């Protein structure tokens, strides 16, 4: 390492790929540890998710005061959030502020897509290649490439024949889109669609929504964040952050209802609706925390699911439309959505719901979309079709590890990691919120901060011991993969076709990728570190 007087031939100690929440904080911590780093970012600016996803209605669905960095008290005290759930422009401004506040930009290179990285066993270094042909050598690579950054544009027949403009929510034009007077199609009904549909409907002449799977959504009850409420939380911010770090999902400390107390069966039938109604009134993702076993026991889940189904039937006036909008799968199995007027939008006379659950979209034509044998004429198509989640961004980089083996090859049957941080055969490569870590089942900022801090401590440990190489042991990876499967198997998560399982991408191996449960995971990572990074081979072979 340069930082400890090692080889001066490297460009930097660490190449970090990606400049979202993860890459920005990683850079900050590396610098503080005295390591040199270069962040390579494909986008034209910092912000990651919040740089790319500029669709109307985009905002966080974990409360802003929790969905933000906790590592610097001055930052969290000084930054004022204006809404309970901040909009995309506000979160992007926040991340730009972080980049400026900590003087990060001088080590960030935007408009730079990493296409490959090869590990040299003799020197224990990585050679990173960019699309433009640049090369960077580094002792370590940190992939801060994002779980939801590789947009999924489905290969629907005729997709490229459409006459009008098409947009993917995750690649939204910076100048915005004016839908006024246009007939618009939205494909998809996940979180991005749920947020954008009410706003597009207000602007467009007509909106047609193509729904493959009906979605559960809980109201956000978004509102301006009162100054005194914000001040009250900031006065106990350290406690709020600490509580989230000890929770199952990395957030929830601001909930007036707290974590679940009882399994569904322990609650009198008469009280269940009361508890459910309290969660519904509070709004947001905490709804599934109504019972301790909502995500583990089919009966408990069904009680919560049926409550939401009844709400949908109560909101949507046309019973046939309400029926189509009513999900049948387990609630929370696909990620829960949080909305502002989603179901209500289907009461508008200028909005039509098209159920494509049985045969999908037949074709995109020059004039619109054909489904169920009917041609729907539209001027604009919005793909709210999600992402090649968790592995998509990583698999688009040709990582070549020991013996030239590629990551694509190592993960042919699905991603295999140790702690979600490291991969056997790929020394000196760290993943932030990689598959096998709680990541997308949590407040991602909590998970990101945890990983960044764990990786930094690991690098400091290596430097302290004069080591230049670290690699996950294959047995540790096998054990970890089995553990993730066991934990997932105790939940209802594997019971539907979610992106957590890769089921949204044709041909992707069906493997449950995230690990449920932040708090136990945090403790396990700490334990691994406390035991000299158990499960990692350090300083072998050849290079110490």
- Look at residue 433 and give the partner it binds from ligand NAP, ligand FAD, none, a contact being a CB closer than 5 to 8 Å depending on partner kind: ligand FAD
The stretch near ligand NAP (CB under 6 A) out of 14-22, 185-193, 363-371, 516-524 is 185-193
x/- contact string, 475-514, with ligand FAD (CB under 6 A)? Answer: ----------------------------------------
162 or 287: whose CB is closer to ligand FAD?
Answer: 287
Count of chain residues binding ligand FAD (CB under 6 A)? 38
Cα end-to-end span (Å), the chain: 11
x/- contact string, 341-380, with ligand FAD (CB under 6 A)? Answer: ----------------------------------------
Q: How far apart are CA 165 and CA 161, in angstroms?
A: 11
Go through 279-311 and write b for each residue having 16 or more CB atoms within 10 A of its CB, e for each that does not: bbebbbbbbbbbbbbbbbbeebbebbbebbbeb
Least gap, CB of 467 to ligand FAD (angstroms): 27
Helix (H) or strand (E) holding 101: helix 88-101
The stretch near ligand FAD (CB under 6 A) out of 40-48, 418-426, 482-490, 534-542 is 40-48
Q: Contact at 8 Å (CB) between 291 and 271?
A: no
- Asked whether position 43 contacts ligand FAD by CB under 6 A, the answer is yes
Q: Site for ligand FAD (CB under 6 A): which residue of 113, 221, 234, 313? A: 113
Helix (H) or strand (E) holding 119: strand 114-120
- Asked whether position 295 contacts ligand FAD by CB under 6 A, the answer is no
Structure tokens at 114: 């990493």
Helix ranges (H only) for 204-282 are: 227-235, 237-245, 269-282
> Where do we find the tokens 């076709």?
497
Q: Site for ligand NAP (CB under 6 A): which residue of 87, 125, 247, 385? A: 385
Neighbours of 457 (CB within 10 A): 16
Structure tokens at 500: 């957590």
Q: Which of 397, 400, 386 is nearest to 118 (CA)?
A: 400
> Where do we find the tokens 């708090």?
519
Least gap, CB of 60 to ligand NAP (angstroms): 5
* Beta-sheet strand order (sheet of 351-355): 166-168, 380-383, 183-187, 206-211, 351-355
Q: How far apart are CA 223 and CA 411, in angstroms?
A: 44
The stretch near ligand NAP (CB under 6 A) out of 125-133, 227-235, 287-295, 384-392 is 384-392
22 or 361: whose CB is closer to ligand NAP?
Answer: 361
Q: Which residues bind ligand NAP (CB under 6 A)?
A: 60-61, 148, 154, 156, 169, 187-193, 195, 212-213, 335, 338, 360-361, 384-387, 440, 499, 504
Q: Which residues bind ligand FAD (CB under 6 A)?
A: 17-23, 40-43, 48-49, 51, 53, 58, 60-62, 67, 113-114, 144-149, 170, 192, 393, 396-397, 432-433, 443-444, 448
């Amino acid at each position: 390492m340069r930082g400890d007087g090692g080889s001066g031939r490297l460009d930097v100690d660490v190449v970090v790929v990606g400049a979202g929440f993860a890459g920005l904080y990683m850079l900050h911590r590396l610098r503080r540890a005295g390591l040199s780093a270069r962040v390579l970012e494909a986008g034209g600016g910092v912000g990651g998710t919040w740089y790319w996803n500029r669709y109307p209605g985009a905002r966080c669905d974990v409360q802003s005061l929790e969905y933000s960095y906790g590592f610097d008290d001055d930052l969290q005290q000084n930054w004022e959030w204006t809404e309970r759930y901040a909009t995309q422009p506000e979160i992007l401004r926040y991340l730009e502020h972080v980049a400026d506040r900590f003087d990060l930009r001088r080590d960030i290179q935007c408009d730079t897509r990493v296409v490959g990285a090869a590990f040299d066993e003799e020197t224990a270094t990585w050679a990173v290649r960019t699309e433009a042909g640049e090369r960077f050598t580094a002792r370590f690579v940190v992939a801060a490439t994002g779980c939801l950054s590789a947009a999924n544009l489905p290969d629907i027949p005729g997709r490229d024949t459409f006459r009008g403009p098409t947009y993917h929510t995750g690649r939204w034009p910076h100048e915005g889109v004016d839908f006024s007077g246009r007939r618009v199609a939205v494909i998809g009904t996940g979180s991005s669609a749920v947020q954008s549909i009410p706003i597009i409907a207000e602007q467009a002449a007509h909106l047609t929504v193509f729904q493959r799977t009906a979605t559960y959504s809980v109201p956000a009850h978004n509102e301006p964040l009162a100054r005194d409420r914000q001040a009250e939380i900031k006065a106990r911010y350290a406690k709020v952050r600490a509580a989230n770090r000890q929770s199952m999902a990395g957030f929830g400390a601001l909930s007036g209802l707290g974590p679940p107390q009882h399994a569904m069966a322990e609650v009198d039938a008469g009280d269940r609706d009361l508890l459910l109604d309290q969660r519904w009134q509070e709004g947001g993702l905490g709804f599934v925390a109504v019972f301790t076993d909502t995500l583990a026991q089919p009966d408990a889940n069904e009680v919560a699911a049926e409550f939401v189904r009844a709400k949908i039937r109560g909101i949507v006036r046309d019973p046939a439309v309400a029926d189509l909008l009513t999900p049948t799968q387990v609630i929370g199995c696909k990620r829960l959505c949080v909305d502002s007027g989603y179901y209500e939008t289907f009461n508008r006379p200028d909005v039509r719901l098209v159920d494509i659950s049985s045969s999908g979209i037949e074709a995109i034509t020059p004039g619109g979309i054909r489904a169920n044998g009917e041609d729907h004429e539209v001027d604009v198509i919005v793909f709210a079709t999600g992402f090649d989640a968790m592995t998509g961004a990583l698999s688009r980089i040709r990582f070549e590890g020991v013996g030239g083996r590629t990551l694509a090859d190592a993960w042919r049957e699905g991603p295999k990691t140790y702690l979600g941080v490291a991969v056997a055969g790929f020394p000196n490569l760290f993943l932030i919120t990689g598959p096998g870590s709680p990541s997308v089942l949590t407040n991602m900022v909590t998970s990101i901060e945890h990983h960044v801090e764990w990786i930094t401590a690991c690098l400091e440990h290596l430097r302290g011991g004069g080591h230049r190489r670290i690699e996950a042991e294959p047995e540790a990876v096998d054990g970890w993969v089995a553990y993730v499967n066991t934990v997932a198997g105790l939940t209802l998560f594997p019971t539907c076709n979610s992106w957590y399982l890769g089921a949204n991408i044709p041909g992707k191996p069906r493997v449950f990728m995230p690990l449920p449960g932040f708090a136990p995971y945090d403790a396990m990572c700490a334990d691994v570190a406390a035991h000299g990074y158990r499960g990692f081979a350090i300083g072998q072979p050849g290079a110490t």
